[in-house]
Structure 1
Amino acid sequence: MPTQTIRRIALALCATIGVASPVFAQNSLSGSYLAARHAGFYSDFEAASQYFTRALALDPSNVLLLENAMLAYLGLGRVERAVPIARRIVDLGADSQASRMILVAAELERGDFDVVLADQEAGLSVGPLVDGMLGAWALFGNGQVTDALDAFEETGEDTGFMMFADYHRALALALVGDFEGADAIFTGGDQPLYGDRRMVLAHVEILSQLERNNDAVAVINDLFGTTLDPALTSLVERLEAGETLPFETITNPKDGAAEVFYTTASALNGEAAESYTLIYSRLAEFLRPGHVDAMLMTATLLEGLEQLDLASQAYSRVPTESPLFYQAELGRASALEQQDKIDAAIEVLSQLAKTHGMIPIVHVNLGDLLRRQETYDAATKAYDTALGLYDEVDEDHWFIYYARGVTHEREGRWPMAEADFRKALELRPDQPQVLNYLGYSLVEKREKLDEALDMIKRAVASRPNDGYITDSLGWGLYRLGRYDEAVVHMERAVELEPIDPIVNDHLGDVLWAVGRKIEAEFQWKRALSFIDPDDVPVELSPDRIRRKLEIGLDKVLEEEGADPLTVAQD
């Protein structure tokens, strides 16, 4: 959806639907309560569900305990456990919109459309937008199609979210076979109703049902370009082969209700707290267990909440036959890597490279993981494979050349590294990462120093608050013997990256070069204090820093056979 519309929906929903905070007025409950509060604060849903349940044994009518236990179960995806707690909260007369949301989802899941409508009449409200949309699908479920269509439109007008309402109205028309009417909604406004990928694919299915496969292909190419992911590629191939795509975006009114929760989650994603958005994606899955987009959103939200085991489980639920399975596996590998399960992450991506070997991004992700593990030669081969799969290279591929340039450089294959960096700059001329890496590497090799300095200056102009790029500029000036100029930039770099050992070491060298020797020794000592003995940067030698402290930079350069400093004043 357009950014402004997303923000308006997010603000409206945040204003109408609350999520209980894990902060309670009482301070006299047991250790279970305290543990529950801690677990809830860190979104540890498994622990929170257990501890809140134990705390409820001590105070079974405590609404805040009930609400947080309910939300913990919902975070785990155990909606069936959350439902009776939600009912208990409502029966106690508490004002809990989250509880009402769970109860209406449970009624829709059972197909109790009359109950949904009756509860809304009795005042069981989630919020104007969600109430209106779910009520419309309940009317549809009762066979009141005309009333449902009117309700969608009325909700859109009353809340100001017509795109939201029009999308669901088009789905309802398509569900009863009125594909012409659905198409008219998608294309009848000032601009097509293409708020997100699912909306586009719904229209593609509708066009195919109208025997307009060429138009459907044109929509895909216009919106996604010619470099398509596997799911879209497969779709285009089916359309071009003359196949009529079934309308599967929704298949029944329950799916429509699930789409309300998913569409809402999409609007909230990135605009509201992840734990808040998770309520909607979990309920979308509850109403439609095979909703792959909702599964992926849930997994991503859990990953953002650092619930990595739950995220891995969510990614694992995406079926292997789904066109989006590879995306789920990429996400699972990321979650495993964040848990330091590196071998498992590499195994996931290696297997994916075998089963989905024609997808370049799979090899890129494998290369990135191997590069981060400093397995540079294997990473290079993965990048080689990825680049070999593209028929044409475009601007978006700059990063692959950049990443392969890094692995070549780390393996000592400088001519190949330089060629890749320059190819990346050909594709994206002002990319600061590439400008900085290539410029810094040339400075370190003392090659093409004027060109290198110009590259780094361009990178700094693009990212003036990046300490590492600013360090590169100061270091380049130092290599050129322009020590006074270097000092300003190196001091700025240390301001931006105060505990980085390399940046502090560089500042020490520059200060020594302009005669500020006491300050230089202070910076070298700082650099030593910031070195992690278990993770010493390859660019840094602690022994060399100690030697500089012992005999001075001039003598160290003499011992190394390096060029002397052109200026060294006490």
Structure 2
Amino acid sequence: MLRPVLLAALLGLTSVPATAQTNSGPYLAGRHAQISGDFAEAARYLGEAIREDGQNLGLLDALAGSYVSLGQVDRAEAVARRAIETGGQSQIASLVLIASQAKDDRWAPLLEDLDAGMSVGPLFDGLVRAWALLGDGQDDAAIEAFDAVAKEQGVALFGIYHKALALASIGRFEEAETTLSDASSLRLARRGVLAQVEILSQLGRFDEAMAMLESGFGDELDPPLMDIRNRLEAEEAIEFDITPTARDGIAEAFHDIASVLISETGPEYTLVYTRLAEYLRPDLIEATLMSAQLLENLGQHDLAIEAFGAIPDDSPAFEAAELGRAQVMREAGRDDAAIEVMRQLARQRPDSAAIRMALGDTLRQLERFDEARRAYDAAIELSSEDGEVWLPFFSRAVTEERLGDWNAAEADFRKALEINPEQPQVLNYLGYSLVERQENLDEALDMIERAAAAEPESGYIIDSLGWVLYRLGRYDEAVDPMERAVELMPVDPVVNDHLGDVYWAVGRELEARFQWMRALSFVENDQNDEVKPDRIRKKLDVGLDEVLAEEGADPLRVADDG
């Protein structure tokens, strides 16, 4: 959690204007759309409301925010100016006007507005002022302004990091590197690591730059990082492009603050920062991806799809963006379109096992098992001997099991265990399957016990442990793990049903009926694959012994321990 001083510095002492006090139909409709995250409808209705009350700061602020969320910053600027002209304080309007002036490199007017009291919050105001001074050619004053931010309690690292970026942007690489090195507690994300790599390369310190690259990203480098490593090996200086201009510096500030706010405030507020970062710097891929994820969280599927689709195909994030776009299409009920996006991506990336895995997983979730198996076949062919190579065998085994091809499934489960003998997911799935098939129960128990030892907080695995003990007739031993499984997964119908059976087997018939009733209450529909509601109702009517007898199953027997 953010410390209170940092959150106050980020959000500022001013607040978003109070909700407009009006009973007009357009306002109420716009407010409802705004709350539900439907920015297009909010903009339409709030625009109508403003025609009735053009000086209402709350309406103007809400409309400006809706336009920004839609990515229509130019339209938001006109509304923001009207909001400021009312004489009130508006964070949204201030953010929009700062971005619009930075976009056009209007540094002197921006500094004048800051001096006149335009404000977002202490931290953001300080960073913007420093970058604006740099854009205005006042380099020394800018560095002093960054130093002032670095002296503020709770936000010092923001000032230090941006000071280093600013020094690098004006070619003072030695000072930039010293600034970063002196900040021992500064934890750099991807862009920060790249900034330091570029700075070191500009100083001709190629070995250190290479070490920084490897410590930051490991051995698995995406194509752009591989290109950087190759250039470092050739002792080629890498151009500093993280914040080459003051405008880019302010875009970075929007993005950095959004990265902190994303877990502390509502997504609609953070979205304003990411959209304005995109506006200032369209090639800031991290901001675009964050916008897309926020829009997805808000249920704005069309806008999220558009944002994911804005990532160029030469970006290292393109693959993840396309998979994200497909996921949002699925959430919107466009399954066929999602599959086509993934197939097209597979054609564009013919050597990617990960894409085939993602395609297989999606097809399996849609119960298109034959197609899923073919996707996993391709993933296995493309997989290297390193990394998570057990996973495609496991995923294909699950698919084969659903297709009823148990021999192939068991072979793939065992192949996955050959590669990763203690993988708890595989141990649990194969062990549970053997239990359900009444095959190799002692081996199944061993597998599930190993899985439970590896993941003692997994409700699914602890349920499997209790169930295999029940199947072995060790009813008393099954009680504790089944009760623990229900504690871990209290509303899961399968686990509650299993506990009911275990209770019945040890003579606790009243508690058994209670658990069966709970299981029924958690079944969403009568087509559940794992829980058969009619069977549970039958158990409630006549008891488990009678149900087993009617099914021709083995009767409950006294456990080995008597």
Q: What is the aligned partner in structure 1 of residue 219 from structure 2? A: 226
CA positional deviation for 1:19: 4.3
- Asked whether the 8 Å contact 1:425–1:435 carries over to 2, the reply is no
Q: What is the aligned partner in structure 2 of residue 80 from structure 1? A: 74
Q: What is the aligned partner in structure 1 of residue 166 from structure 2? A: 172
1:315 pairs with 2:313:
no
Per-residue CA deviation, residues 301-357 of structure 1 (Å, 9 max, x unaligned), is 211222222111111111223232222112111111111211111111111111123
SS of corresponding position for 2:98: helix
Q: What is the aligned partner in structure 2 of residue 376 from structure 1? A: 369
CA positional deviation for 1:497: 4.6
CA positional deviation for 1:101: 1.7
Relative distance call for 1:190 and 1:79 in structure 2 (3 A) is: same
Give the whole-Å Cα distance in 2 for the aligned partners of 1:38 and 1:120.
34
CA positional deviation for 1:238: 4.4
Q: In structure 1, which of residues 100, 114, 122 is the aligned counterpart of residue 108 of structure 2?
A: 114
Equivalent residues in 2 for 1:303-342, closer than 5 Å? 303-342=296-335
CA positional deviation for 1:200: 0.8
Equivalent residues in 2 for 1:253-402, closer than 5 Å? 253-394=246-387, 399-400=391-392, 402=394
Relative distance call for 1:218 and 1:99 in structure 2 (3 A) is: same
Relative distance call for 1:458 and 1:17 in structure 2 (3 A) is: farther
Per-residue CA deviation, residues 496-546 of structure 1 (Å, 9 max, x unaligned), is 555544334333433443345566566556655654447x23334455556
1:538 pairs with 2:532:
no
- Asked whether the 8 Å contact 1:501–1:530 carries over to 2, the reply is yes
Q: What is the aligned partner in structure 2 of residue 208 from structure 1? A: 201
1:148 pairs with 2:139:
no
Q: In structure 1, which of residues 98, 105, 109 is the aligned counterpart of residue 99 of structure 2?
A: 105
Structure 2 unaligned segments of length 5 or more: list them. none
Equivalent residues in 2 for 1:233-244, closer than 5 Å? 233-240=226-233, 244=237
Range 131-140 or range 459-468, more displaced: 459-468
Q: In structure 1, which of residues 460, 471, 480 is the aligned counterpart of residue 463 of structure 2?
A: 471
Q: Tell me how many residue pairs correspond in the alignment.
A: 556
What amino acid sits opposite 2:75 in the alignment? R
Per-residue CA deviation, residues 431-469 of structure 1 (Å, 9 max, x unaligned), is 654454343223223344345445545655776665444
Structure 1 unaligned segments of length 5 or more: list them. none
Q: What is the aligned partner in structure 2 of residue 564 from structure 1? A: 555
Equivalent residues in 2 for 1:459-538, closer than 5 Å? 467-491=459-483, 493-494=485-486, 497=489, 499-516=491-508, 520=512, 524=516, 527=519, 530-533=522-525, 536-538=527-529
Give the whole-Å Cα distance in 2 for the aligned partners of 1:240 and 1:213.
7
1:419 pairs with 2:410:
no
Relative distance call for 1:25 and 1:473 in structure 2 (3 A) is: farther
CA positional deviation for 1:422: 2.2
Give the whole-Å Cα distance in 2 for the aligned partners of 1:66 and 1:100.
12
Range 239-248 or range 254-263, more displaced: 239-248
SS of corresponding position for 1:158: coil
Q: What is the aligned partner in structure 2 of residue 182 from structure 1? A: 176
Give the whole-Å Cα distance in 2 for the aligned partners of 1:204 and 1:273.
34
Provide TM-score, normalisation by structure 2. 0.88
CA positional deviation for 1:391: 4.0
1:139 pairs with 2:130:
no
Relative distance call for 1:400 and 1:38 in structure 2 (3 A) is: farther
Give the whole-Å Cα distance in 2 for the aligned partners of 1:235 and 1:339.
39
Relative distance call for 1:524 and 1:123 in structure 2 (3 A) is: closer
Per-residue CA deviation, residues 100-156 of structure 1 (Å, 9 max, x unaligned), is 121111111121101111112112122222112111111111111122122212221
What amino acid sits opposite 1:225 in the alignment? G
CA positional deviation for 1:547: 5.7
CA positional deviation for 1:73: 1.2
Give the whole-Å Cα distance in 1 for the aligned partners of 2:449 and 2:383.
33
Q: What is the aligned partner in structure 1 of residue 32 from structure 2? A: 38
Give the whole-Å Cα distance in 1 for the aligned partners of 2:69 and 2:101.
19
SS of corresponding position for 1:439: helix
Give the whole-Å Cα distance in 2 for the aligned partners of 1:166 and 1:519.
62
- Asked whether the 8 Å contact 1:408–1:416 carries over to 2, the reply is no
Relative distance call for 1:378 and 1:236 in structure 2 (3 A) is: farther
Q: In structure 2, which of residues 11, 14, 31 is the aligned counterpart of residue 14 of structure 1?
A: 11
Give the whole-Å Cα distance in 2 for the aligned partners of 1:399 and 1:544.
34
Give the whole-Å Cα distance in 1 for the aligned partners of 2:204 and 2:63.
51
Give the whole-Å Cα distance in 2 for the aligned partners of 1:364 and 1:315.
20
What amino acid sits opposite 1:298 in the alignment? S
Give the whole-Å Cα distance in 1 for the aligned partners of 2:265 and 2:174.
36
- Asked whether the 8 Å contact 1:32–1:52 carries over to 2, the reply is yes
Relative distance call for 1:156 and 1:424 in structure 2 (3 A) is: farther
Relative distance call for 1:543 and 1:231 in structure 2 (3 A) is: farther
- Give the alignment's Cα RMSD to 1 decimal: 3.2
1:251 pairs with 2:244:
yes
Give the whole-Å Cα distance in 2 for the aligned partners of 1:382 and 1:106.
47
Give the whole-Å Cα distance in 2 for the aligned partners of 1:181 and 1:322.
31
Give the whole-Å Cα distance in 2 for the aligned partners of 1:546 and 1:194.
57
Give the whole-Å Cα distance in 1 for the aligned partners of 2:264 and 2:454.
27
